[in-house]
A and B are shown apart, each in its own frame.
Chain A
Amino acid sequence: MNNNLQEQIIRSGDLNVLKCMRCGKCSATCPSYDEMEYHPHQFVYMVEKGNIQPLLNSESLYKCLTCFACVERCPRGVEPAKVVEAVRLAAVRKQDGNHLTADKIPAMLDEDLPQQAIVTALRKYAK
Chain B
Amino acid sequence: METFTYYPGCTLRTKAKDLDQYARVSAEALGIALEEPADWQCCGGAYTTAKDEIATKLSAVRTLNAAKENGNALVTVCSACHNVIKQTNYDIANDENMASKVNNYLQLDEAYNGETTVYHYLELLRDVVGFDNLAKKVVNPLKGKKIAAYYGCLLLRPSKALQMDDPENPSIMEDFIKAIGGTPVIYAQRNECCGGYITLEDKSQAAKRSNAVMDSAQSNGADMIITACPLCLYNLKKNSDSDMPVYYFTEILAEALGLKEGTNE
Residues in A lying within 8 Å of B, measured CB to CB: 11-14, 31-32, 34-35, 62-63, 65-69, 71-72, 79, 81-82, 85-86, 89, 100, 105, 108, 110, 112-121, 123-124
Write the chain A residue with the least CB distance to B97.
A14
Size band of the interface chain B makes with A: 35 or more
Q: Does B259 contact A (CB under 8 A)?
A: no
Q: How many A-B residue contacts, CB cutoff 8 Å?
A: 138
Contact between A69 and B14 (Cβ–Cβ < 8 Å)? no
Q: Does B254 contact A (CB under 8 A)?
A: no
Q: Which of A31, A63, A115 contacts B14 (CB 8 A)?
A: A115
Contact between B48 and A123 (Cβ–Cβ < 8 Å)? yes
**Which of A31, A35, A62, A105: most chain B Cβ within 10 A?**
A31
Contact between B49 and A67 (Cβ–Cβ < 8 Å)? no
- Residues A114 and B14 in contact in the complex (CB < 8 Å), given A72-B159, A85-B50: yes
Give min CB distance, A11 to chain B, whole Å. Answer: 8
Interface residues of B in 161-219 (CB under 8 A from A): 167-168, 192-193, 195-202, 205, 208-209
Contact between A31 and B192 (Cβ–Cβ < 8 Å)? yes
Contact between B198 and A116 (Cβ–Cβ < 8 Å)? no
Cβ of A85: which chain B residues have Cβ within 8 Å of it?
48-50
Please report the C-alpha to C-alpha distance between residue A114 and residue B11 in the assembled complex, in whole angstroms: 6
Cβ of A13: which chain B residues have Cβ within 8 Å of it?
49-51
Please report the C-alpha to C-alpha distance between residue A63 and residue B209 in the assembled complex, in whole angstroms: 13
Please report the C-alpha to C-alpha distance between residue A115 and residue B229 in the assembled complex, in whole angstroms: 12
Cβ of B197: which chain A residues have Cβ within 8 Å of it?
65, 116-117, 120-121, 124
Please report the C-alpha to C-alpha distance between residue A68 and residue B159 in the assembled complex, in whole angstroms: 10
Please report the C-alpha to C-alpha distance between residue A100 and residue B192 in the assembled complex, in whole angstroms: 25
- Residues A12 and B205 in contact in the complex (CB < 8 Å), given A117-B200, A121-B200: no
Give min CB distance, B251 to chain A, whole Å. Answer: 16
Give min CB distance, B39 to chain A, whole Å. Answer: 18
